[in-house]
Chain A
């Protein structure tokens, strides 16, 4: 029997509440815990965002570096690279599970060949959506400098 439960009509009408009920306490703690858990989730996602930003920049640099390497390689080595493209040791160390792919097109009238490098790595939403860089290199059979 709680102190508030009185049978008298008068005392029920002007009764004063002198505290909070257990139900109110539970509701307030529930709301608080929801807020804290949502904010903690945001902090975790913030950490992932930093990693994702760095991975993106490293991947862009890696593609540019590989394209430079392709440009510098003699034709025979270039064919070997295009047959089995592999990311650099630096990218392999920094980008988890990085894989490099190459799409080549037939040389155009200028003797330049379009080469597209694509890199993908282990990140949610990244597999199947590689980062691509296209370059035009003189075809292996053609002569002359770019």
Chain B
């Protein structure tokens, strides 16, 4: 107890920390923890967001490639009916259908063999969120359009920006895809040119 009573305070060793020091240390530590927690959260969100985004991008590219190939191979195009977006008739009599599922998160491609009502092949194109899909047929030009949904579930027109239904939806980029293709463009199904003979 003797050194504590000494009037020259510079000589004594501190036996503890003051309240101000404690508060400062706690403030600093909480600042560090808060900033690293925010950073960690941001990194995790960015990771999941980018995974979903690139999944959608890859699906869009895959759908575009398949749709274009199907339009090129098709001989005739059928009108949309119900959840069927479009149907193509192949030169061999087979049918390819594109359907938009009821939850609007998936586009389904079905291949039907001639005379067989059950699909022989299916392929799914799943998207992270609901989207609108429209197929328009103008003579031989077929256009598939994928975009954000409007209020009525149809494709939102370019000018309208609808309020997001959830915070997650506000951050998500809606799919954007337009595929234009010309019917019967595939060289394999065309008659041989002059002077050429088929193998």
What residues of chain A have their CB less than 8 Å away from a CB belonging to chain B? 1-3, 5-6, 16, 18-19, 25, 29, 32, 36, 39-40, 43, 46-47, 49-50, 53-54, 57-58, 60-61, 64-65, 68-69, 71-72, 88-90, 93-94, 144-146
Contact = CB atoms under 8 A, between A and B. Distances in A.
Interface in B1-54: 9-14, 17, 21, 28, 32, 35-36, 39, 42-43, 46, 49-50, 53-54
B10 A2 contact: yes
A10 to B, nearest CB: 13
Contacts, number: 87
Nearest to A145: B190
A44 B64 CA distance: 30
Given A18-B14, A19-B21, A50-B173, 16 more contacts: A32-B32, A32-B35, A36-B36, A43-B46, A47-B46, A50-B53, A54-B173, A57-B60, A61-B177, A61-B178, A68-B180, A68-B182, A69-B141, A72-B141, A93-B158, A94-B176
The secondary-structure label for the interface of chain A is helix
B68 interface: yes
A60 B176 CA distance: 13
Across chains A and B, which 6 residue pairs bring their CB atoms closest together, nearest first? Answer: A65-B180, A1-B10, A72-B182, A90-B178, A46-B46, A68-B180
Contacts of B9: 3
B57 A57 contact: yes
A53 B60 CA distance: 12
29 contacts: A1-B10, A2-B10, A3-B9, A3-B10, A6-B11, A16-B13, A18-B17, A19-B14, A19-B17, A25-B28, A32-B35, A36-B35, A36-B39, A40-B39, A43-B43, A46-B50, A49-B50, A50-B53, A50-B173, A54-B173, A54-B176, A58-B176, A61-B178, A61-B179, A64-B68, A65-B179, A89-B158, A90-B158, A144-B193
